[in-house]
Structure 1
Amino acid sequence: MKICVVGTRGFPETQGGVEKHCEILYTTMGKQCPVEIFVYRRKPYIVCTPKYKNIHFVDLPSTRIKGVEAVIHSFLATCASIIKRPDVIHYHNIGPAMFSPLARLFGVKVVMTYHSANYEHKKWGKIAQLLLKISEKIALSCSNEVIFVNKYQMQKSPQKYISKYVYIPNGIPDTRILQSLDFIHSLGLERKKYILAVGRITPEKGFDLLIKAFAKVNTDYKLVIAGGVETEIGYMEELKQLIKPERIVFAGFTVGDKLSQLYSNAGLFVLSSRNEGFPIVLLEAMAYGLDVLVSDIPATHLVDLNKDDYFDLKDEKSLVQGIIRKLTNNSSRAYNLIDFDWKKITQKVYQIYQSLR
């Protein structure tokens, strides 16, 4: 079976939840299923090109201009995919899937994974939001099957397409608890004496809320934000002005053993997002046994957490009090994560492909 993948910037070592999702899904599928997978990557984001079983990378021109890169790349990738005559083109998210009618016109079956309602993100202007909403309608109507990583998004999507919908959550990335401390020491950190937040530096991640709240907490803990900044340079500069520099560490985009060290030695994990599809970083934190404090949004209710693990986005005191409470009673935790096995998730996606042959 030949599958073309459109909508990711690429992998490995490329920042983003969709990128991590695609990396784990397709490397797992390539190992355990009889498939030939073509992943269309955006040249400006390519870091390296390792060999994976049954995966071929096709690197196409792109730009880093916000709002333009996905449109240009998705169009080129759709055209290149059609030429290959695949069994399925799998689009990741509603923006890239605006070109699904072109694929259907040439008789190619389409699967779309709905990661998040991008038009709800603050970084997009009114015109971009309108285009994303139009893309959503196109994607839902033209896709043969629609996978939702968030069941709440599935429930509020147009029910006239419900026969196409299936809920398949994200899974837990491989986790290795590391005893080494060289990386965290290089950042001026001590084991179990810092709060960790992970994600791309954009307004929807709510890092401004987290920093403002942490600045009001009297503690010797530090705050670590592991994530890179791309187009939101102004937002990053605003974040730096919200707190004394000695209290915070901007670790940048972090992967591999360095990220494992940050997770392995954190005292608390905080997810302050205003909007999420299904945060893989939260699953990672839970897999490492970290205590967590998360914003009360639909996506964070996709996992089994306690009432006091949530804070109210509209109430800064709720976040301040949550941090104080968690640091006062800090401890490791065990979570039920049986539903988030990537091998099982991969089989479910592969079965969808098979059903379209």
Structure 2
Amino acid sequence: MKVLLDLQYLNVATTGIKTYMMELAHAALAYPHPDIEWVFSHDPEEQSADQTFKGPQTKIHRLNYHMDYFRWKEFQLPDLIKKHQPDVLICADFVSPAASLPCRRLTVIHDAFFWQMPQNYPKWWRTYFLSLIRKGLKEDTEIITTTEYSRKSLYKYLKKIYPMTVIHQAPKKLANGVDPSFLENHGLKSQQYFLHIGTFDKRKNLPLLVRSFADFLKKTDSNFKLVLAGGAGQSTQMNDKPVVNELVAELHLQDKVILPGYVSDAQVRSLYENGFGYVFPSENEGFGIPIVEAMAFGLPVIHSDQPALMEVAGQAGLAVKTGDQQDLTEKMILLSSENSRLETMIEKGKEQSKKFSSKNFIEGFQTVILKN
């Protein structure tokens, strides 16, 4: 069985989809199956390192990228299929070619955000991208998604019922080593800060986290800090970074809320290994990779009761009512004051994180690939 994995999108992917595609490619190589031959459209490391369409962009630059993406999906990828003649095509970035293909398609649709939160995307771009998604869902297509929550959400919005399988993904494998100076440079002490890593998208509810942390400091008189690592939201509509910056200044938390921007693997590892707790108040997620990462490092997790996060955390996290500032503050206080609860959460979290291994991830795909 020959399988072609489309990795073109790695040249711009920066968030969870990048992790998904890289870990899928790595797992395919690490856990080969005797009945499956993998063909990659691109070398994953080289494609990920391509800077052609990354960084600050003009309108012309963005337009050139969209044209490049369209050419790939609708012309170059079908040509590659003719060349390699795979039995299965996997597109892990929502979009499969609109052209008729002589092979099965496994299209990964990670979440239903484009339907659920239209206000977070430029209207023209959302219309265009949804059109690409729908045109690629044809012939012998099976959808792969990340959680039961995403599966149910997609069935609600897709006009046609497609076979759909949930495969839980694996988190990114962080490079070995830590950055010994990173914590010191930001005035951080081990076990003395709450952590969040990710973009400042509006759905992440980071202004709520800042307000809850301010209340936490007032009620506990502690020396804790809050680290919000990551870059701006993915579009002007989605970006809450300016709101967070203004809120930090308004609440006089400049010395308490640390905003280091994008962080390297070594810095991420340093943050996870020395943090007190991970806080994930997001109002909508398709999966929630940081929950698995944090738990694997022995970091207790406070998360919203959003369905995907509840599914990924199992019974190992401390759930708060989504959007409830007071509840979040109370859970942060609870975590900081009950050592027995803390220890139990750490142990449960380590066990829960083992379910999301690279081996389990690729075996999910192998089962789908070989079932017909």
Q: Normalising to structure 1: TM-score of the pair?
A: 0.81
Which residue is 2:186 aligned to?
187
User: Does structure 1 residue 89 correspond to structure 2 residue 89?
Assistant: yes
Which residue is 2:271 aligned to?
262
**CA RMSD after TM alignment:** 3.3
Which residue is 2:97 aligned to?
100
Q: Give deviations 1:26-66, integer Å, cap 9, x for gaps.
A: 0121233242212488xxxxxx73xxxxxx87969647579
- Indicate how the Cα distance of structure 1 residues 179 and 253 shifts in structure 2: closer, same or farther if over 3 A, else same: closer
Q: Within 5 Å, which residues of 2 pair with 1:1-357?
A: 1-6=2-7, 8-10=9-11, 15-33=14-32, 34-39=37-42, 49=46, 62=53, 64=57, 71-78=66-73, 79-85=75-81, 86=84, 87=86, 88-94=88-94, 97=95, 99-102=96-99, 105-119=100-114, 120-121=116-117, 122-142=119-139, 144-158=141-155, 164-174=163-173, 181-218=180-217, 219-229=222-232, 231-232=234-235, 235-243=240-248, 244-306=253-315, 309-329=318-338, 331-332=342-343, 333-334=346-347, 335=349, 336-337=351-352, 338-355=354-371
- Indicate how the Cα distance of structure 1 residues 21 and 133 shifts in structure 2: closer, same or farther if over 3 A, else same: same
- Indicate how the Cα distance of structure 1 residues 327 and 113 shifts in structure 2: closer, same or farther if over 3 A, else same: same
Secondary structure (helix, strand or coil) at the match of 2:231 reads: coil
- Indicate how the Cα distance of structure 1 residues 209 and 265 shifts in structure 2: closer, same or farther if over 3 A, else same: same
Q: Give deviations 1:213-262, integer Å, cap 9, x for gaps.
A: 21222231111011122655763222111122111111222232211110
Letter in 2 for 1:89: L
Letter in 2 for 1:237: P
1:278, CA displacement in angstroms? Answer: 0.6
Look at both structures and tell me which one has the larger radius of gyration over its CA atoms. Answer: 2
Gaps of 5+ in 1: 42-47, 50-55
Number of residue pairs matched by the alignment: 337
Contact 2:24 2:362 in 1 (8 A): yes
Is 262-271 or 152-161 further displaced after alignment? Answer: 152-161
Query: What is the CA–CA distance in structure 1 between the aligned matches of 2:191 and 2:21, rounded to whole Å?
Result: 31
1:299, CA displacement in angstroms? Answer: 0.9
Gaps of 5+ in 2: none
Is 57-66 or 262-271 further displaced after alignment? Answer: 57-66
- Indicate how the Cα distance of structure 1 residues 210 and 239 shifts in structure 2: closer, same or farther if over 3 A, else same: same
- Indicate how the Cα distance of structure 1 residues 216 and 315 shifts in structure 2: closer, same or farther if over 3 A, else same: same
1:191, CA displacement in angstroms? Answer: 0.3
Contact 2:281 2:323 in 1 (8 A): no
Query: What is the CA–CA distance in structure 2 between the aligned matches of 1:69 and 1:208, rounded to whole Å?
Result: 34
Contact 1:6 1:89 in 2 (8 A): no
1:296, CA displacement in angstroms? Answer: 1.3
